[in-house]
Structure formats: C-alpha cells, structure tokens
Structure 1
Amino acid sequence: MGSKYHAFLFPWFAFGHMTAFLHLANKLAEKGHKITLLLPKRVLKQLEPLNLFPKSIVFHILTIPSVDGLPDGAETTADIPITLEGFLASAMDRTRGQVEEAVRFGKPDLIFFDFAHWIPEVAREYGAKCVNYLTISAACVAISFVPGRSPDDCAVPPPGYPSSKVLLRGQEANILSFLSYPFGDGVTFYERIMTGLANCDVISIRTCREIEGKFCDFIEKEFQRKVLFTGPMLPEPDNIKPLENRWNHWLNRFEPGSVVYCSLGSQIILEKEEFQELCLGMELTGLPFLVAVKPPKGASTVQEALPEGFEERVKERGVVSGEWVQQPMILAHPSIGCFVSHCGFGSMWESLLSDCQIVLIPHLGEQIFNTRLMSEELEVSVEVKREETGWFSKENISGAVRSVMDKDTELGNLVRRNHAKLKESLLSSGVISGYVSKYVEALEKLV
C-alpha cells in the first residue's frame, strides 16, 4: 500500500455532483486517506448522513458570496432555476480566496475538482496535484470537449471519435447552445470545462472500461492526460440508510416489480403543462406509480399544479411528491419495476445497477448523450419519443413505459435481457471493488 495522503474535494454546487464526490470521499477514506470536502452550509443536512467515515472525512464550510442576479440564500442548483446557474458559478468562483486559505492551512496532497477551472493554478501554487473528477459520461466529454474545436462543432463527431451511436440528431444540437453561455465571471461553460481538462494533472471519470472504454481512450489521446476509471462509485447496499417508513408502507401494498418510479433530478423544473402531461402519462399506464419532481414553474407545491380530478382518479395507486426522496432506497424496493429518469449520470448508474426496467426522458445536453449510450449503444433502456414541440405527450410517456413493462413485448424482453447481462458483469465478483483499488493505487503513485 502506498503512502497515505490528504485530499481536498471541491465539487460543483449541485447535488448530483456533491453526492458523487462524497461517494468518492467514502472510498478514499475506506483505504485510510484523509479527506476535506468543501461545501456550502445548507447541504450538510442531506450529505452528513452519507458520510460513512466521519473521523476521516471533514466538511469544510464555504460562505457563498452574494452575486447580483442570484437570489439571497441560494447555495446550490436546487435553489434556483437552471437559467440562473451562471450566477451560481460566479459565486463559486468568488469563494477562491476561502479555498486558497483552506489549502494553505490544510496542505492537501491532492485536490479534486470539476467546475472550478482555477483549481489547477491553486494546486500548483501550494504544491498539490489536481484531479479533474468528471461526473458526466466519457461519451459526452469525447464529443463536446475536444482541443481545437468550438462548441458549434459538437453536433458533428470529431476526427478519430470512436465508432458509436452516441450522437445528437436534428434540432438536438440546439440543446448544446448552453456551452457558449456565460457561466461565471468572464467565462463560458465550454471554456470552464476545457480549461480544467487542459490544466489538470490527471482526468478521472466515474465510469467503467466495459461501458465507455473507447471514449476514455479518445479523451486520453486528445488531452495527453492519463484518464483514470473510478467505476460507478455508488454506495454499497449495506451502507444505505433504510427507506422512510411512509414510502416503505406505501410501496409494500403493491406486487413485486409493478410500480413505476419517476424522478427528473434536482435541476429540472417543468412548465406547468409539461408537469401535467407527465402526471397524465403516468396515469395512462394503468400501473401504480410514484413521481418525485420539483413543483413546476409558478407553483409552490406539486399538489396545486396537478391536473383537475387527477388525485381522486389515482388515489389508490399514484403519488406525486415535490420533496427530496431517497432514490437508491426506492429503487432497491422489490415493488419498483420501472425507473423513468432524466438520465443524469448518477441516475444512469443507479438504474444500471438496479433490477428495474429503464425509461429515459432527457432534458439537457449531457443527458441526451447518456440516453443514446443507454438506449442505442447498450440497448438497456427506452427513450420517450419527443413531439415536434420538443416536449413529450402523455401517450408517448405511457407508451414507452408499457413497452418495457408488458411482459411479452419484444422490446421489453430485449432491454431486460441486456440490462440483466450488463448488471451481472458489473456486479460479478470484484469488478467494481477492483476499479476502486486500482484507482486509489494510481492516485498514491501520483502523490
């Protein structure tokens, strides 16, 4: 075993990123390393229970500065609509002084980051190595972030891009226009990510060679940086807290594998019409369902935005919640048979390692690449068809769910077989723990 090191982890202020970094912290702490995780104060309540090694993992609280355009008290992407995230990026950048002070006193050997593109400068100044830890898919990075290309090129595969079905189609290229948006003070989203990739010591991706090896090889070649695989980096089942009683009691009423669970992540806030169409789509399936999404635009609760008569019609078999739920524990409940997701990278891994059928409703650029990877490359899921408006009709949502939940459909059986095979190979003896061990060893050599 190599020498023990002290690592600082500084994730983007979105729950999908912060929880991914905390899972990484747990794996490093388990191997005897000391971790300092830099976070906004308001996330402690949700993240502290996930800290499995409180003696080795310390939360260092950052004060989030006020920024014109950012609502008072906003500290994470869950507090704001997606259109204001550029202001949150400015706030994160303005914590640089606090981060430098913490680094000066803490003397870390390694600093992990994702969106804070200035971390390589800080690391060099204080003699630390820095790791760009990407919580998005390698496929997304390989087509979107390539030296010498501009964001406008992302709809077309770069030279040398591996043979793949992970591509954008038609109007979807517009979804990647956000790459050119200002994201922080004087920097676009594209420049922010490219700077981090070009200046770090090592690129590290939360993925497996079995799924994305060819994309990682491409990234390694383009950036001339070693790419390290971490594996899925999800918590072990033994370390997951039990499911809240109310959800456990409710789910226990239904047959194994019969309930549809739908969640679109912490960043997506639907228009009221979209929210209602989603609810009606779930109703149309005829199956029991649990929907956990944020209240739609203009509503303070999900209840006030539900379609007329909806609650009365589905009261025996359907629940819509606007609160944060314990997603890994819900997916592990025997009654859950289908996971309808936005295909953020964390949810993608949770779905792959579950026994559920997988239906995908991507919203943002990265989610579309993940969806292509799942539905077309690996053939383990079904994507809900879009209308010309860009949204999804209740019929399309219901149709996609029924296509995988009906026991004798060809498509349902195909994705079920492929998913079971892939899950088995990932969970077979030592594969995931092997990734973690090799990863920790590679970091010990880096230090």
Structure 2
Amino acid sequence: MSQKFHALMFPWFAFGHMTPYLHLANKLAEKGHRVTFLLPKKAQKQLEHHNLFPDTIIFHPLTIPHVDGLPDGAETASDIPISLGKFLTAAMDLTRDQVEAKVRDLRPDLIFFDMAYWVPEITKELGLKSVMYFVISANSIAHELVPGGELGVPPPGYPSSKVLYRGHDAHALLSFSIYYKRLHHRITTGLMNCDVISIRTCEEVEGKFCNYIERQYQRKVLLTGPMLPEQDKSKPLEDRWVHWLNRFESGPVIYCALGSQINLEKDQFQELCLGMELTGLPFLLAVKPPKGAKTIQEALPDGFEERVKNRGVVWGEWVQ
C-alpha cells in the first residue's frame, strides 16, 4: 500500500503486548503512516521513551474502570498476579465505549487489536478494517485451535507431530481451564471476525503454522517479521548493567526474562537458577520472586550466590 494510512492500536494491557505494538507503530511511522495508540494512563510514562516518532504516534490514555476484584490502581498485567487476569480483561471490556468514541471521532483506516475481541464489531459497523495482530509465535496461536479435550492430539492438517501439548503441558493448562476457556473464546472470536490476521514472525521460521492458521480461519495472514527495535541511544543502559556487561566478551552472556506475570513455584525457580548455573556462561536472569518468597535472595538454592557471584545475576525487578 503506497497510500499513507492512519492506524489505531489497542493492545492488551500488558507490557509484553504494548511494547511490541509500539515497535510496529515505530516502523509504520517511519514509513510516513500515522498511529493513534490507546493504552492505560499508568502505562504511558513507561512507554513514552520507546516512541521514536512522538509527532506521528499519538498516545491516547484510557481511564480504566473499577471492577470488583481488581486492586485499586491496577491498570496493567504487571500490577496483578496472573490469577487476577480475568478482572483486568473485564476492565478492558468496560473501556469499549471510550474506544468506540475515539474510533468514531478519528475514523482510522485500520485498527490493530489482540484481546479485545469486540473490536471487529465496531469496525464493521463503521466500514473500517480490523487487524488481529499477535505478538506471540504462530505455533502458540495454532495451539489455540486445538479443542481443549484433545490437547495432546494434533487435529487434521496440523503441521507438526512434535510441536503440540504433551501430557504434562495439557494437565498444567487444564488446571486453570476456566481461564483457558475464556482466553480461547477471546482469541477464536477475534480470529473469526477480523479482516486480517497479522503475526510477529517470519515465513522462514514458522511458515507451516502460518499457512495452517490461514486455512483454518480463511483469513489472510500477514507477517511483520520479528520487529526488533532500533537501539535507543538517547536513553543509555543503566550504569550497573554497563559495568557488569563490560566484564565479559561480546556475545556469550545469556539473558533470560520470563515476564511480569510469571510467578513460579519455588522448586521451579530453583531449577531454573541451577540450569543457568550449569551453562557455565555468564547470565542475567530477570524473574519475580517465587510463590511464598518476598525476595529473590531468600529463594535461591543453597550456595548458589557464592558459586555464580562472578558471572551470574538473578534480578527480581525491571531490568531497565
């Protein structure tokens, strides 16, 4: 499309979704397109420095309605444990009037969304186009097409006999089956009703899964590639990390971040730490304290800090 367009973006209220959406917005703005970005007020401050085109990408903060069960002041997934996610999705749904009012006012050409499955209802009424943009891998989306009772059995046409849920995976997923059913409903409803599906991946890596999704939902699947951000030289790395990284040669440092919603059991946390130790390489592990622990230090395996003190860091907060 050589013609310039105006896109509105409305990602799920998690930084693991909003940040990649903003990376895409930067790429679109670089090509001369305009973007209006809807997000919680609380998230704007943390994302502003990632906006490389503030004259072209306009943030529009939303007021997050109160929902019983959602802690006061919680506006993003990083503010709550994953068990309270249903209350945040309910709050997102209650922003529909705000979103629709903005869409009617701006009349963008495209609306990018993921969890707000009702966006296509708005776009169809107004004669606009909706793009369901996934920041997760294509094989993860393909998993969502597998009926809940058959998580370990690939359906007809599924492109792999290896990349699917195994018995222990299915058991873990079904342990929060009510949440999974709601998530499954959101994703499949969005897939069925959107105009275009877009995925942050590439043909060379996940082409088979993308083709499978395209066949299943009879929707064009467009790939953005990995959408890696440009280095932001205006905001240098914090001194603590510069000094630490400069102790090692370029390349061998392992960086592992599980995201703000992951809250491991203590035995899982310790197994992860020990696994990082066994690599023999320098590492930075960014992960929340496990369940039942207030700090990272109290949950570490015995003797771990002493053994890795010259090459390993386990960090329980935002890295940057």
When normalised by structure 1's length, the TM-score is 0.66
- Give the structure 1 partner of residue 299 of structure 2: 305
Residue 201, structure 1, aligned to residue 198, structure 2? no
Q: Distance in 2 between matches of 1:178 and 1:233?
A: 33
- Give the structure 2 partner of residue 227 of structure 1: 221
Give the 5 Å matches for 1:264-283: 264-283=258-277
Amino acid at match of 2:115: F
Give the 5 Å matches for 1:118-267: 118-145=118-145, 150-177=147-174, 180-182=177-179, 188-237=182-231, 241-267=235-261
Secondary structure in 1 aligned to 2:158?
Answer: coil
CA-atom RMSD, angstroms?
2.3
Deviation at 1:46, TM superposition (A): 2.2
Q: Deviations over 1:380-437 (max 9, x none)?
A: xxxxxxxxxxxxxxxxxxxxxxxxxxxxxxxxxxxxxxxxxxxxxxxxxxxxxxxxxx
- Give the structure 1 partner of residue 289 of structure 2: 295
**Runs of 5+ unmatched residues, structure 2:** none
Q: Distance in 2 between matches of 1:258 and 1:191?
A: 42
Residue 78, structure 1, aligned to residue 75, structure 2? no
Deviation at 1:288, TM superposition (A): 3.3
Q: Deviations over 1:248-275 (max 9, x none)?
A: 1111112444433332222211223433
Q: Which of 314, 320, 326 lines up with 2:314 in the alignment?
A: 320
Stretch deviating more after TM superposition (193-202 or 208-217)? 208-217
Q: Distance in 2 between matches of 1:136 and 1:203?
A: 13
> Does the CA-based 8 Å contact 1:205-1:229 persist in structure 2?
yes
> Does the CA-based 8 Å contact 1:179-1:190 persist in structure 2?
no
Secondary structure in 2 aligned to 1:278?
Answer: helix
Q: Distance in 2 between matches of 1:160 and 1:239?
A: 46
Q: Relative to 1, partners in 2 of residues 1:313 and 1:36: Cα closer, same or farther, differing over 3 Å?
A: same
Q: Distance in 2 between matches of 1:280 and 1:208?
A: 33
Deviation at 1:241, TM superposition (A): 4.4
Q: Distance in 1 between matches of 2:15 and 2:126?
A: 28
Matched residues, percent identical?
68
> Does the CA-based 8 Å contact 2:39-2:61 persist in structure 1?
yes
Stretch deviating more after TM superposition (169-178 or 213-222)? 169-178
Q: Relative to 1, partners in 2 of residues 1:28 and 1:286: Cα closer, same or farther, differing over 3 Å?
A: closer
Q: How many residues align?
A: 320
When normalised by structure 2's length, the TM-score is 0.91
Deviation at 1:314, TM superposition (A): 3.7
Deviation at 1:279, TM superposition (A): 3.0
> Does the CA-based 8 Å contact 1:8-1:38 persist in structure 2?
yes
Secondary structure in 2 aligned to 1:86?
Answer: helix
> Does the CA-based 8 Å contact 1:29-1:57 persist in structure 2?
yes
